[in-house]
Amino acid sequence: MKFLSTFRITKGFDTWLEMYKEIEPSLNELGIKVLWAGTNADETKVFDVTEVEDPAVFGVLTKREDIIKKRVDAGVDLESQEVIETIGKDYWA
């Protein structure tokens, strides 16, 4: 399953990306893979396309203390996390 989501950040995209690269191996082990991520012009929101093998596992982003701490320390506003839409069909050029 793929979905488009967004969340607010307070420390810029580079800080978020550095944190993501730290937690990426743990997420990949759980079957969570960010396919694309980008930010708005003032780097206060991240938008991403994420693929998960098991949607029930996605809750780890809000339940696992080590991941929560890294996200908060990187400026992620956890309460702003929003799944905009699930993606049924897609095309990547």
Confidence at residue 39, expressed as pLDDT on a 0 to 100 scale:
98
E strands present in 1-93 = 2-9, 32-39, 45-52, 76-87
Beta strands at 2-9 and 45-52: parallel, antiparallel or unpaired: antiparallel
Confidence at residue 27, expressed as pLDDT on a 0 to 100 scale:
92
Considering the chain, what is the average pLDDT of its residues? 93
Half-sphere exposure of 11 (CA within 13 A, CB side): 14
Confidence at residue 86, expressed as pLDDT on a 0 to 100 scale:
94
Confidence at residue 55, expressed as pLDDT on a 0 to 100 scale:
81
Confidence at residue 63, expressed as pLDDT on a 0 to 100 scale:
81
- Which positions of the chain have pLDDT values less than 70? none
Confidence at residue 50, expressed as pLDDT on a 0 to 100 scale:
94
Confidence at residue 59, expressed as pLDDT on a 0 to 100 scale:
73
**Amino acid letter, residue 30:** L
Please give the biggest Cα pair distance in the chain. 37
